[in-house]
Amino acid sequence: MFVSRSLIKLQRYGLIKVCRNLCNQSSTTSTGNVDLKLENLEEKPAFPGSRSKWTSQLEFIRSENYEGIPVYRVMDREGKIIEPDGDPNLGQEMITKLYKGMTLLNTMDRVLYESQRQGRISFYMTSYGEEGTHFGSSAALRSDDLIFGQYREAGVLMWRGFTLDQFMSQCYGNIDDLGKGRQMPVHYGSKDLNFVTISSTLATQMPQAVGASYALKRQGSGRIVICYFGEGASSEGDAHAALNFAATLDCPIIFFCRNNGYAISTPTREQYRGDGIAGRGPGYGMATLRVDGNDTLAVYKATAAARRICLEESKPVLIEAMTYRIGHHSTSDDSTAYRSVDEVRFWHQKDHPISRLRKYMEQRSWWNDELEKDWKEESKRQVMQAFVAAEKKIKPNVKEMFTDVYDEMPPHLTEQYESLMEHLKHYGEHYPLKKFNGMGDS
C-alpha cells in the first residue's frame, strides 16, 4: 500500500488527523493514490504560538477598526459612585488619610518647585494631577511588596511612611540624605520601605523589576513587585523585553503605566499609533486593565485586583492609568511651548483627582471648608518646618563619593580620592568646605 510523501509529512507534523485504522482504507488505484477516509479533521490551524481560526477572507487587521480598551472607573467627575456595588467602602479614616496624603504631596511639590526656582536645589519634578495614581495604587499593596519607581512616584513612597524630613534631605543632598548626596533631587530610595532607588534612565527599572519578581516567586514569599513607568518609557527597548520576560516566566509583577499624556514634550499621538499601552498587554499574553487614573478609588480597586492575580495565578498584570500631567515635566521644561494654557486649565479645574476625592468625602459629610482650611495651614506648616531644617544641615563628607560600591576601595578609586584630597589641600580656600561634614579644617 502506498501513501504519498506529502501526507506522511503532514501527519508527522501533526497538521491533520488521519483515520485510526489504515486497514479501513480502500485499495490502491492504478495511479498509486489512496482514497483515505478522514475522521475528526482538525478545523483550526495547529501552528505553535497562536490560537487562530482559518479564514478565506484576505483582510488586514487595523487598530482603527476596533474600539479602544474601556477605561474602568468607580466615580464620576463629581465624586458620585456610578454603580452602588462599585464603592470599595474604605471608610472615613482610610479615605481621609488618602486625601491628606495627596494634598500634602501637592504642598511639598509647590515648596520644592519654588525652591529650585530660587536656586536652593538643582532640580525638581512635581506630581500635579497624578496624585490619584500614587496613593490609590500604593494603598492597595502590602508593605513588604517591592516597588520599582520611575521618577514621579513620590506619593507612593509618602504612603509607605517616607517622612517630609527624608524627602527634603534627599532633595538638598544633606548629611541625613539616605543616598549621601550622590543622587539628583527626587531620586528617592528606601531599603526599609522596600522602595528601590530611582534611576533617571527611562525603563531600566523594568527588566530589573521582572528579575526581582521572579526571585520572589522562586522564594515562595507571598510578595509581589510593582513597577511604575510612564507611557514614554514604554517606547524603550527595555520595556518590551521586560513585558515579554514577565509573561513567559509567569512573574508576579504589576506593570503600572502612568499615561499622563506627554513624554516630556512629546504628546502621545507622536509616541505610538496603537490603542495606548494597555493595547499591548494581550499581545504579550498578560491580564490587562485600563483605569481612570484621576479616580483614586478605581485605581485602588484595580491595583488590589491585580495583586490577587499576581499571587493566586503567579502571573503578571498590566495596568494603564489614564491621567494628565498638569505641571511641567520638570524644572528643566516649559510646557507652554508645546501645549495650550486652556488644555491645562481644563484638567486642573474639571478632572483633578484631589477635587474629585474631596467631593466624594463631602457627600458623606467627612470633609468641609473648615477642615480644608485647617489642614492647608497644618500641611504647609509641616512642609516648611522640614524645608527649613533640611536647608540648614551640612552636606556629607566628600569621601562618600567613593564609598559603598565596593567592600574595599579599589586602587583606581583610591588614586582618585587621594588626588582630590591633595587638590583640596592646596586650593581648599576656594571651596565652601565648612558646609561639608568633617571638612571644615581641610
Which residues are known catalytic residues? 114, 200, 329-330
Query: How many residues are there in the chain?
Result: 442
Dihedral angle sign, alpha carbons of residues 22, 26, 28, 32:
negative
Identify the burial level of 394 via C-beta atoms within 10 angstroms of its C-beta, where 0-12 means exposed, 13-18 middle and 19 or more buried: middle
Q: Kind and range of the H or E element at 325?
A: none
- Measured CA angle at 263 (ends 125, 303), to 5 deg: 80
Phi and psi (nearest 5°) for 291? -130, 150
Dihedral angle sign, alpha carbons of residues 54, 56, 59, 65:
negative
Distance CA 10, CA 17 (A): 9
Q: Which residues are CB-contacts of 351 (< 8 A; sequence separation ≥ 6)?
A: 77, 294, 324
Task: State how far the alpha carbon of 200 is from the alpha carbons of 172, 173, 203, 204, 272, in Å.
Answer: 17, 16, 9, 9, 22
Q: Which three cell numbers stand for residue 336?
A: 507652554
